[in-house]
């Protein structure tokens, strides 16, 4: 089986990895309480999604 | 290539997967809203909606078919009477999935799946539970204050 001739240097490996980046989540404002919330998720602070209460927050 | 490969395996064997979907279905019909991972909720939707459609036909043959997949007499009875009458004329889309963020332990995306026609019922029940808890708490506090005064 063919194999790589040379070991990949740390520099080459790390250079390749400069393009591996985490993306920031899409955040929006809750229409019910105005807090920041994830898109397409129920609001963690008031429990509302799309005008409906999905759960009652603990506090 | 994964062309036209439908459904998730959920890291289970076929029998394990069927058992899981059956258990989730029975829980959903019993409690009207359940919390599970978003992936399981999406699989459950495709499993339970045809069952509810069968239940709406209401005859003995369909009841036997539903019984074959759910295996829970009490729940099937409730489905054929109470739940079907609540659903009324709704043409499919009996369930709703709402994402609620990631689980602490393993970061799994969690979601609520609920029967659309029972949305308010579950909320009322949760609110009642909360009121009960708070009433118990204030009662306890009052008792403690009384005991402190007596001393």
* Alpha-carbon span B122 to B95, nearest angstrom: 14
Is the distance from CB of A38 to CB of A26 less than 8 angstroms? yes
Q: CA-to-CA distance for B97 and B22, rounded, in angstroms?
A: 18
3-state SS string for A12-54: HHHHHHCCCCCCCCCEEECCCCCCEEECCECCCCCCEECCEEC
For tokens 């026609």, what's the residue? B117
Domain boundaries, chain A: 27-59
User: Is A42–B112 a contact, with Cβ atoms under 8 angstroms apart?
Assistant: yes
Q: What is the pLDDT of residues B96-115, one digit of tens each?
A: 999 999 999 999 999 999 99
* A-B Cβ pairs (cutoff 8 Å, strict): 28
Enter the pTM of the model.
0.83
Q: Which residues of chain A lie closer than 8 angstroms to B112, CB-CB?
A: 42, 54-55
The ipTM value here is 0.77
Residue A50's φ and ψ, nearest 5 degrees, are 55, 40
Give the fold, CATH level 3, of B14-116: 50s Ribosomal Protein L17; Chain: A, (3.90.1030)
B98/A42 touch (CB, cutoff 8 Å), yes or no: yes
- Please state, in angstroms and rounded to a whole number, the distance separating the CA atoms of residues B69 and B127: 33
DSSP summary character for residue B1: -
Please, where are the H alpha helices in B3-118? 14-31, 38-57, 60-70, 73-78, 84-87
> Chain B contacts of A42, Cβ < 8 Å?
98-101, 112
Q: Per residue in B20-39, pLDDT tens?
A: 999 999 999 999 999 999 99
Torsions phi, psi for B76 (to 5 deg) = -65, -40
């Amino acid at each position: 089986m063919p194999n790589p001739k040379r070991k990949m240097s740390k520099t080459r490996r790390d250079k390749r990895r400069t393009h591996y980046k985490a993306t920031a989540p899409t955040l929006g404002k809750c229409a019910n309480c105005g807090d920041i919330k994830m898109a397409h998720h129920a609001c963690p602070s008031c429990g509302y999604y799309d005008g409906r209460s999905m759960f009652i927050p603990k506090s | 290539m994964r062309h036209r490969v439908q459904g998730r395996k959920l890291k289970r064997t076929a029998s394990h997967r069927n058992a899981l979907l059956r258990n989730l279905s029975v829980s959903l019909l019993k409690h009207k809203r359940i919390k599970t991972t978003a992936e399981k909720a999406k699989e459950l939707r495709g499993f339970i909606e045809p069952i509810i459609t069968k239940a709406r036909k209401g005859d003995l043959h369909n009841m036997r078919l539903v019984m074959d997949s759910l295996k829970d007499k009490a729940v099937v009875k409730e489905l054929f009477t109470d739940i079907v009458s609540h659903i009324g004329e709704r043409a499919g889309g009996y369930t709703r999935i709402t994402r609620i963020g990631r689980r602490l332990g393993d970061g799994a995306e969690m979601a609520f799946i609920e029967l659309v026609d029972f949305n308010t019922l579950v909320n009322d029940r949760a609110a009642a539970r909360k009121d009960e808890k708070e009433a118990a708490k204030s009662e306890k506090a009052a008792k403690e204050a009384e005991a402190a005064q007596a001393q």
